[in-house]
Amino acid sequence: MESGNHTEVTEFVLQGLAENWELQLFLSALLLLFYIIILPGNILIIVTIWNDPRLGSPMFFFLSSLAFMDIFYSTVTPPKMMANLFTRQNTISYQGCLAQIFFIHFLGGAEICLLIAMAMDRYVAICHPLHYATIVTRVICWVLVGGSWTGGFIHSMIQMILIIPLPFCGPNEMDNFFCDITQIIKLACTDTYALEFAMFVNSGLVTTTCFILLLGFYGALLVKLRMGSAQGKNKAASTCITHIIIIFIMFGPAIYIYCHPFQDFPFDKVVGFFHTVVFPLMNPMIYTLRNKEIKAAMFRLLKKTKVRREN
C-alpha cells in the first residue's frame, strides 16, 4: 500500500529468539513444555479454590483471579511464536502486532493492579483482623478485581492511542520474538523522542513506582508481624514473603525492559522470554509449593475425582 512516497508497512518480521534453526527448534519445544504446564497449573488452582469451601477467604479469591489472568497472559505471545517456529514464517501482521502489544500491557497492567489489591487485603488482615470480615467483603473483592481489569485496560489504551498514529514505511524487522513498544517505536518513520519518554513514564516509571511501594508495604507488614504476638505470625509472614517473591519475579523483568533506553541490549530476549513465558508459570508453582492449604485442597480434589471415576 502506497502512502505518499513511501510504502506503508503491513507486516513485521520477527527475528526470533536465536539465529540458529536447531536452537530455535529446541527453544520452541521448551516453550511448548512451559505452556503445557502453565495452563493445567493455573486451571487446577482456579478449580481447587472455587470448589473448596475452606478456601473461601478473599486471599484465595484474589489468587484464583491472578491465575485466571495468567492463563490469558500466557496465550498472548507463545502460540504465535510456536506457529512461526514450526512453519518457519517469522512474520506478524500490523494488526496482529498491535493486538500483542495491547494484550501484553492490558493483562500486565491488570496483574499489577491486582497485586496492589492483594497487598491491601493483607494489610487489613494483619493490621485490622477483628474488622477484616466486615471490611473485605465479597462485593469489595469483586470491585477490586474489576478495578484491576479496568486499570490494565486504561494503561494499555494509552499505549494504543500513542502508537496507532505512528507512520511505518520501512524497515520492518524486529530483533525479538514478539511485538512490544520498545521494538515497534524504533521502526516508526518519525522522531519518537517525546513518545519514548511518554512510554517510559507510562510503563517504566509507573512499574518501578508500584514495585517500590509494594516492597515498602510488605516490608512494613513484616516489621509489624515481627513486633506482634506469635499467634498466626508465621503463617502471615509466609504469605507476605510469597507475595514479595511474586513481586520480584513480575516487576524485575518489566523494570529492565521498560526503564532502559529503547535500544537493543544483549539480555533483552532472555528477559523478554522470562517475562512473557516463564513468569506465568511461576505463580502457580510458588503459591502451591508455599501454601499448605492449597496443597491440601488439591489433594482432596484429586482424591474426590479419583473416587468418582472408580464409582
Q: What is the pLDDT of residue 210?
A: 92
Q: CB count, 10 Å around CB of 92?
A: 23
For residue 63, the SS3 value is helix
Class of residue 4 by CB neighbours under 10 A (exposed 0-12, middle 13-18, buried 19+): exposed
Q: What is the pLDDT of residue 196?
A: 84
Q: Which residues pair with 14 in a beta bridge?
A: 174
Strands 173-174 and 11-14 come out as parallel
The Cα–Cα gap between 241 and 61 comes to 18
Which pLDDT score, from 0 to 100, does residue 29 have?
Answer: 78
Least confident residue range of 5-14, 112-121, 159-168, 248-257: 5-14
The percentage of the chain sitting over the pLDDT mark of 90, rounded to a whole number, equals: 21
Would you place residue 261 in the very low, low, confident or very high pLDDT band (cuts 50, 70, 90)?
low
Instruction: Indicate the average pLDDT of the chain.
Output: 83
Give tens-digit pLDDT for 222-254. 888 877 655 557 778 888 888 888 888 888 888
The predicted-structure confidence for 13-39, as pLDDT tens digits, reads as follows 887 776 667 777 777 777 778 778 778
- Count the alpha carbons within 13 Å of 155 in the hemisphere toward its beta carbon: 27
pLDDT at 5: 44
What are the residues whose beta carbons fall under 8 Å from the beta carbon of 117, sequence distance 6 or more? 62, 144, 145, 147, 148
Give which of 221, 282, 287 is closest to 34, Cα–Cα: 282
Query: For residue 6, what pLDDT band results from cuts at 50, 70 and 90?
Result: very low
Query: What is d(CA 202, CA 287) in angstroms, rounded to the nearest whole number?
Result: 29
Cβ distance 223 to 240 under 8 Å?
no
In this prediction, residues 251-270 reach a mean pLDDT of 77
Name beta bridge partners: 11: 93
Domains of the chain: 2-310 (1.20.1070.10)
pLDDT range class, residue 4, cuts 50, 70, 90: very low
- Residue 7 is predicted with a pLDDT of 52
pLDDT class of 2 with cuts at 50, 70, 90: very low
Distance in angstroms (rounded) separating the CA atoms of residues 230 and 234: 7
pLDDT for 149? 96
Q: How confident is the model at residue 110 (pLDDT cuts 50, 70, 90)?
A: very high
What is the three-state SS of 256-280? HHHHCCCCCCCCHHHHHHHHHHHHH
| Phi and psi at residue 14, to the nearest 5° | -95, 120
pLDDT over threshold 60, residue 302: yes
What digits encode the pLDDT tens for the residues 139-168?
A: 999 999 999 999 999 999 998 998 998 888
The Cα–Cα gap between 96 and 94 comes to 5
Q: What is the mean pLDDT of residues 102-106?
A: 93
- Cell for 184? 515497534
Average pLDDT over residues 43-68: 89
pLDDT, tens digit, 9 for 90 and up, residues 163-207: 998 888 878 888 888 888 888 888 888 888 888 888 888 888 889
Asked if 38 contacts 237 with a C-beta cutoff of 8 angstroms, the reply is no
Burial 173-210 (b: 16+ CB within 10 A, else e): ebebbbbbbbbbbebbeeebeebbeebbebbbeebbeb
Assess contact for 256 and 128: CB atoms under 8 A: no
pLDDT tens digit string along 286-297? Answer: 777 777 888 888
What's the pLDDT score for residue 212? 93
**CA 26 to chain centroid:** 24
Q: Which has more confidence, 190 or 5?
A: 190
Residue with the bigger pLDDT between 17 and 256: it is 256
